[in-house]
Structure 1
Amino acid sequence: MQENYLAKWLNNELTEEELAEFKNSDEYATYKRIIEVSDTLQGPDFSAEEALSAIRNKRILEAPKVVQLHPFKRFMKVAAVAAILIVGAYFYLNTLDKTVSTEYAQRADVTLPDASEIALNVDSKVSFSENNWDEERKVRLEGEAFFKVAKGKKFTVATKAGDITVLGTQFNVEHRKDFFEVSCFEGLVSVSFKGMETEIPAGASFFAVNGKIKEHEIQKNSAPSWMNDESTFKSIPLRYVLDEFQRQHNIIVTTENIDTSQLYTGTFSNSDAMLALKSISVPSQIKFKFEGNKVLFYAEDAP
């Protein structure tokens, strides 16, 4: 490729033959991506009125000068701009995180750069930096996910409720509105919540509802129930159970004349909506009406 193709391309001066040759070069894809990323960058606020006023004042104080640039100097100017774009885009691209998210009734599996694995539950999101992974093994989580962490240096899961740190283990983290639970299935995890550190051994859980820490619940399985298409609860307010039903089945839930703060203990199916509705309504002594993509839960004595 001719050395001055980049400058001519930036100035739209390439002939059709030169442009075709340039597009076939190894460098073209890189330059094109840099230009695309640069177009997304925003510059500082600019006041046209203030700039125009400054130009008028300068014209009064100084006589206008016209400087003819030598073609080589013009090329060097374009090359300098290109160099700035390349360096800036390099650092910008290295700050981008990889993000994986799921919708209602949708799950996803994620493999991290060190071969650690994430099973992402419905209506959840994880993000992490691939480029900086060797320096810091850190994942940001919104929603719920099960982690199988490869052994190595400290691994951190950051949520808005608190951080979980491990070296290599298997654990589940769920953070929804006013609900935070960490369950350890192998090894040992450390949970940071409201400035307090708590170590959770295998077979135990840490969870908080409405900011209040509850007793640890023992996990008898080798993985969270949702990975086996079930949602399990023990003494959890009914409103969280109904929210989870809505996420798992993508069915709009409404309630009428029922106490959603009553505690629910039980399991419902994540694959069979009708079976799940019966599993929720019977122990809670409530009824439901299921039409289309909506379900209404109501008290048995309601009209």
Structure 2
Amino acid sequence: MEPFKQDESFLARWIAGELTGEELENFRKSEDYALYNKINEASQSLRVPEFNKAQVFDKIQENTLKVNHKPKVKRLVPAWVYAAAAILVLAFGVFYFTLRESQYTTGYSEQLAVVLPDESKVQLNANSELHFKSFNWENNRVLELSGEAFFDVEKGQKFRVETALGFVEVLGTEFNVVARDGYFEVQCREGKVQVTTMSDKEKTILVPGKAVRIVNNKLETWTFKTSEPSWITGESSFYDTPMKQVILALENQYQITIDASQVDINKRYTGGFTHKDINLALRTVLIPMDFTYTFNADKRVIVLKSSN
């Protein structure tokens, strides 16, 4: 076969494993295969350095000044080898950055199951975002969470979930995390977790059935039953939770806007609501709290008032 003249994407397709069986067989029989394979293997050990625009600009200026003073040299390696190496490095660079960053998001009333590189599992609740670096995951198991998620962590090296108000560290366990609008909550359902607050770095160890949260910069703890979170099976549940967070949960599940400016959103609620019937959900939450409401179905806006 002619050396890679079939099409311009030949090397990229080879790296991606997209060659046909016939193309791959002919390539392996070619005289150039050994050289390209060595370049390929060497490229996999490359590490992309931090990009500094100022340094790069200074380097370009320096090289520009020197360009007319370079002595003539004889090439010992054909130009096409450098071109091939550049293509391989570029291709691996693209793959490197593509695989390095992973981000998952959910919208209103959506849930998403995510399997991490170590086979740990994450279930994202509605209007949540999970972000982590999959590159070198074995040595850096760190995730950033905004919203709510349930984690089923495989045993192994330290696993860490970071939020705006605190972070959770575990070695192999099941736990639920809520991080929304100045609120932070962790429930341990299996194993053991360590919760650290961002404000004062206070550490709390949780065992199954224990929970902790931050409300108005204050740390609260309580106990609960260790079954899986009810929101996974279609019902949100709360224990002595500020109404502000319950309202957010209603908005996220039903894609509605709730005007709570006329009620006390710091009142605490214990109970739950279904994800399948908005009218039933509203009655279940609002009637026990002595709230009345009007519902504009067209605009999906609910206005709350106190019945007292």
Q: TM-score range by the shorter chain?
A: 0.7 to 0.9
Superposed CA deviations along residues 112-168 of structure 1, whole A, max 9, x for unmatched, are 233322111111122333342322333322211111222223222222222211122
1:271 equivalenced with 2:276 (yes/no) = yes
Aligned to 2:203: 197
Return closer, same or farther for 1:300/1:85 CA change in 2, 3 Å cut-off: closer
How far off its partner does 1:238 sit?
1.7
Among 248, 264, 267, the residue aligned to 1:262: 267
Superposed CA deviations along residues 99-120 of structure 1, whole A, max 9, x for unmatched, are 2211111001122233322111
Greater mean deviation of Cα atoms: 280-289 or 124-133: 124-133
Given that 1:256 and 1:296 are in contact with CA atoms closer than 8 Å, whether structure 2 keeps it comes out as: no
Aligned to 2:14: 27
Return closer, same or farther for 1:79/1:25 CA change in 2, 3 Å cut-off: closer
Q: Give the alignment's Cα RMSD to 1 decimal.
A: 3.8
Report the TM-score, using the length of structure 2 for normalisation: 0.73
Given that 2:147 and 2:180 are in contact with CA atoms closer than 8 Å, whether structure 1 keeps it comes out as: yes
Structural mapping, 1:94-113, within 5 Å: 96-113=100-117
Given that 1:138 and 1:158 are in contact with CA atoms closer than 8 Å, whether structure 2 keeps it comes out as: yes
Q: Distance in 1 between matches of 2:82 and 2:117?
A: 40
Return closer, same or farther for 1:171/1:58 CA change in 2, 3 Å cut-off: closer
Report the TM-score, using the length of structure 1 for normalisation: 0.74
Return closer, same or farther for 1:110/1:84 CA change in 2, 3 Å cut-off: closer
Among 135, 141, 156, the residue aligned to 2:160: 156
Q: Distance in 2 between matches of 1:141 and 1:116?
A: 15
Given that 2:12 and 2:88 are in contact with CA atoms closer than 8 Å, whether structure 1 keeps it comes out as: no
Aligned to 2:147: 143
Given that 2:192 and 2:207 are in contact with CA atoms closer than 8 Å, whether structure 1 keeps it comes out as: yes
**What amino acid is aligned across from residue 177 of structure 1 in structure 2?**
D
**What amino acid is aligned across from residue 138 of structure 1 in structure 2?**
V
Aligned to 2:243: 238
Structural mapping, 1:31-180, within 5 Å: 44=53, 74-79=79-84, 81-82=86-87, 84-86=89-91, 88-89=93-94, 91-93=96-98, 96-180=100-184
Return closer, same or farther for 1:203/1:300 CA change in 2, 3 Å cut-off: closer
How far off its partner does 1:226 sit?
1.4
Return closer, same or farther for 1:80/1:119 CA change in 2, 3 Å cut-off: closer
Q: Which runs of 5+ in 1 are unaligned?
A: 6-13, 35-41
Greater mean deviation of Cα atoms: 271-280 or 224-233: 224-233
1:287 equivalenced with 2:292 (yes/no) = yes
Q: Which runs of 5+ in 2 are unaligned?
A: 19-42, 44-50
Aligned-residue sequence identity (percent) comes to: 30
In the alignment of these two chains, the number of paired residues is 272
Please state whether the residue corresponding to 1:182 is helix, strand or coil: strand
